[in-house]
Amino acid sequence: NAGVTQTPKFQVLKTGQSMTLQCAQDMNHNSMYWYRQDPGMGLRLIYYSASEGTTDKGEVPNGYNVSRLNKREFSLRLESAAPSQTSVYFCASSAPLAGGPYEQYFGPGTRLTVT
């Protein structure tokens, strides 16, 4: 049981390049999330998916797209990377539907630098 896995661990992009961050979970969770973490800012929600086939915007969705490929996988795409997207990206998953449980479990993160 690996929990939440993310690839790659590190990535360097040039401004304007595109890339997809991959996330998978093996806990049979319904909900998956993407957050970014910047120094002194805590974690901020980019997008989430409450179930396969659905996605919703979080606090900071601009410049990103997501795909819930199946119940296990949730990817985050940067179509045209900008230096402001330099950050550490975390994927998380949780079981819940209405009534909980709400515990979110996080992956190890992807450290992205855009030059």
Partner 1 sequence: GENVEQHPSTLSVQEGDSAVIKCTYSDSASNYFPWYKQELGKGPQLIIDIRSNVGEKKDQRIAVTLNKTAKHFSLHITETQPEDSAVYFCAARPGGGADGLTFGKGTHLIIQP
Catalog residues that contact partner 1 under the rule CB under 8 A. Answer: 4, 31, 33, 40-45, 48, 50, 56, 58-59, 90, 100, 102-109
Peptide linkage before 101 cis (omega within 30 of 0): yes
Q: Give the nearer residue to partner 1 in terms of CB position, either 14 or 99.
A: 99
| CA angle, residues 71, 66, 99, in degrees to nearest 5 | 50
Minimum distance from residue 15 beta carbon to partner 1 (Å): 26
CB 34 within 8 A of CB 23: yes
Q: Give the nearer residue to partner 1 in terms of CB position, either 9 or 14.
A: 9
88 vs 3, 28, 51, 54, 97, CA distance in Å? 19, 25, 24, 24, 27
Minimum distance from residue 92 beta carbon to partner 1 (Å): 8
Minimum distance from residue 24 beta carbon to partner 1 (Å): 14
